[in-house]
Amino acid sequence: MPRAVKPFAKPRALVTGGAGFIGSHLCERLISEGYRVVCMDNLRTGSLENITHLQEDPDFEYVHHDVTTYIDCPGELDGIYHFASPASPADFERIPIPILKVGALGTYNALGLAKAKGARFMLASTSEVYGDPLVHPQPEGYWGNVNPIGIRGVYDEAKRYAESITMAYHRHHRVDTRIVRIFNTYGSRMRPDDGRMIPNFIQQALSGEPLTVYGDGSQTRSVQYVDDLVEGVLRLMNSREISPVNIGNPVEYTVNDVAALILELSNSTSKMIHELLPQDDPKQRCPDITRAREALGWEPEVPAREGLSRTIRWFAERFEGAEEVPETEIRPEIGRTTG
């Protein structure tokens, strides 16, 4: 009798926060790489609209669940991408306790699942672990300058705790872990009312409202397009790098530069207005990506001009009354590279 041959099984990954902005792009990419994907979300800041196009795919499964409670995921799992967490500064005052809970209890539950399944685990951490940095650009070895009791502390400290418990599970329980420190990322599927700089500016530019710039706009940010981030995330997950890795675009812009570029690319006649800088707002933010370059061979590839044009077009298609946004010719970056 011929032996029964076990059919070739596709690897299976769990993405917590999979119905969010980044999570939905990650689910899509994992499926295209041949994974079966379980997307787990409680839709606190995500939306089913972000994953509608995946729902018919036999390799995609959506599970509605709050990861701050025990996570059950029947069947084998090869990887867990723990991306569940609100991420917009506008949410830090609106839902501070759920943010702390998902960083602490959610990460604890997701790590417990990784241990039980023998799955590789990735934590979506953030450049916010560096707080308002005193070192510039920020290498992974920098321990940061965070105000634990400030308004932003709920997010920054939750992510710092999440990194600590991830390393504890690695050292104590030998869970195979990865930590990605994500810098400002933008792209399609961000909520227009999400409160973050780029969707704010785009939504204001498209509706002809003034662009709200906090402070004098000379503070800097580095902005990366979501496709570059997802590429870095996959490379890190498939590497042997246990230490945290910065994934961000080291081209640095002032907030005024970003606003001006969005006005230009969206053909908008909106003006800029300046409002008071929020508490503990970082004055500079720029990744040192030496580790990502050396360990992963990763570099961001999409210039801001191109990524922002794509994002503006995506918003414009959904925004009634917006002027048609022209295809933009790709010109060299403005901004400075410090990484």
Please give the distance of CA 144 from its chain centroid, rounded to a whole number. Answer: 19
**Residue 214 or residue 323: which is nearer to ligand NAD going by CB?**
214
DSSP 234: H
**Could you report how far apart the first and last alpha carbons of the chain are, in Å?**
62
288 binds ligand NAD (CB under 6 A): no
Positions 142 through 201 that interact with ligand NAD (CB under 6 A): 182, 184-185
157 in Cβ contact with 148 (< 8 Å):
yes
17 binds ligand NAD (CB under 6 A): yes
Nearest distance in Å: CB 17, ligand NAD: 3
Number of residues that bind ligand NAD (CB under 6 A): 28
155 is catalytic: yes
Exposure on the CB side of residue 277, measured as CA atoms within 13 A: 11
Q: How far apart are CA 216 and CA 285, in angstroms?
A: 16
Nearest distance in Å: CB 324, ligand NAD: 27
Mask 26-55, x = binds ligand NAD (CB under 6 A)?
---------------xxxxxx---------
4-11 CB contacts, 8 Å cutoff, 24+ apart: 9/76, 10/34, 10/35, 10/36, 10/59, 11/35, 11/36, 11/78, 11/79
The window from 80-88, 140-148, 206-214, 285-293 that contacts ligand NAD (CB under 6 A) reads 80-88
Exactly one of 35, 81, 155, 253 is catalytic; which is it? 155
Q: How far apart are CA 73 and CA 64, in angstroms?
A: 11
66 binds ligand NAD (CB under 6 A): yes
Candidates 124, 236, 289, 308: give the one binding ligand NAD (CB under 6 A).
Answer: 124
For residue 303, give the amino acid letter: P
**Residue 193 or residue 317: which is nearer to ligand NAD going by CB?**
193
Q: Element (H or E) spanning 245, and its range? A: strand 245-247
Residue with tokens 């799955």: 119
Candidates 107, 109, 126, 268: give the one binding ligand NAD (CB under 6 A).
Answer: 126
**Residue 185 or residue 309: which is nearer to ligand NAD going by CB?**
185
Residue with tokens 């909520």: 191
Nearest distance in Å: CB 129, ligand NAD: 9
Candidates 23, 133, 137, 287: give the one binding ligand NAD (CB under 6 A).
Answer: 23
222 in Cβ contact with 252 (< 8 Å):
yes
67 binds ligand NAD (CB under 6 A): yes
**Residue 83 or residue 121: which is nearer to ligand NAD going by CB?**
83
DSSP 4: P
Candidates 183, 310, 166; CA nearest to 248 is: 183
**Residue 270 or residue 303: which is nearer to ligand NAD going by CB?**
303
133 binds ligand NAD (CB under 6 A): no
> Which residues share a beta bridge with 225?
186
68 binds ligand NAD (CB under 6 A): yes
83 binds ligand NAD (CB under 6 A): yes
68 in Cβ contact with 46 (< 8 Å):
no
Q: Catalytic site residues?
A: 155
Q: Which residues bind ligand NAD (CB under 6 A)?
A: 16-17, 19-23, 41-46, 66-68, 83-87, 102, 106, 124, 126, 182, 184-185
